[in-house]
Amino acid sequence: MRVEVDRTACVGHAQCLAICPAVFASDELGYAVVVGDGTVPPEHEDDAQEAADFCPEQAIGVSR
Ligand code: F3S
């Protein structure tokens, strides 16, 4: 599973960071960034999917 953040859609709601801090962090401007290369460790896949589902801007893309 891989995730990516659409930087043109993210407005910094930070729900993704709260739901899945192992995968999402914030940059210096408060926008989300993906930790590492975007590959989600299996143990964090459910949280990463939840973070994508709950982003109000639908800024998180998931691929499997
Ligand atoms: Fe951005 Fe959505 Fe997270 S707006 S900070 S990707 S909850």
Q: Is 60 in the pocket of ligand 1 (CB under 6 A)?
A: yes
User: CATH number, domain at 27?
Assistant: 3.30.70.20
Torsion of CA 8, 11, 14, 16, to 10 degrees: -30
In this predicted structure, what is the pLDDT of residue 33? Answer: 98
CA–CA gap between residue 32 and residue 43 (Å, rounded): 20
- pLDDT of 16: 98
> Which pLDDT score is estimated for 37?
95
Give the pLDDT confidence of 2-58 residue by residue, as tens digits: 999 999 999 999 999 999 999 999 999 999 999 999 999 999 999 999 999 999 999
- Domain containing 18 equals 2-63
Q: Is 16 in the pocket of ligand 1 (CB under 6 A)?
A: yes
- Total tally of structural domains belonging to the chain: 1
Residue 18 CB less than 6 A away from ligand 1 = no
Would you state the pLDDT for residue 6?
Answer: 98
pLDDT of residue 57: 98
pLDDT for residue 51: 98
Ligand 1 lined by 3 (C-beta under 6 Å) = no
Look at ligand 1, atom 1, and give the residue with the nearest C-alpha.
10
